[in-house]
Homo-oligomer: A and B are copies of this chain.
Amino acid sequence: MNQPEDIVNKLSELGYRLTPQRIMILSAIENSNDHISAEEIYAQVMAKYPHVNISTVYRTLELLKRLDLVTETDLGGGRVRYHPAEKGHHHHLVCQECGIIIDLDESLLTSLKDALLREHKFIADLRHLAIFGRCVNCSK
């Protein structure tokens, strides 16, 4: 259960510089209850630090992804959304017809993950997936 502080320390231990931009971007992600977009992070940081540029937001997200601190997921709707990596390994079913998003437990993908490791020695990143298709209502 990482706190924003722990992540900040981790960045610093790994040799990354602790800029005010990074710290504010991190806390925007950590304070968000669910999936947050780059634009939303940008707006939130800009409120306190108007000088920030959106390319810094994207570059920081790139870094946090590379360090496995956030997950990136396309839930449809034209912009990608981000999630602290430690906040529950769950998944989502996304209906392409009506847009409804159904939450899915991690366990439904464990056997797939195991099979990929066993049969292909491939370590699949299945921490926060979106699976597209049609929901009950839309498939009638």
Contact = CB atoms under 8 A, between A and B. Distances in A.
Interface of A: 74, 93, 95-96, 102, 104, 108-109, 111-112, 115-116, 119-126, 131-136, 139
Contacts of A120: 93, 102, 104, 136
Contacts of A136: 120-122
19 contacts: A74-B74, A102-B120, A108-B115, A108-B116, A108-B119, A111-B112, A112-B112, A116-B133, A120-B136, A121-B135, A121-B136, A121-B139, A122-B131, A122-B134, A122-B136, A123-B133, A123-B139, A125-B131, A126-B131
Given A123-B133, A125-B133, A108 B112 contact: yes
Contacts of A125: 96, 131-134
A134 to B, nearest CB: 5
Nearest to A112: B112
A114 to B, nearest CB: 11
A13 B123 CA distance: 45
A139 B124 CA distance: 11
A124 B133 contact: yes
Nearest to A122: B93
A93 B104 CA distance: 22
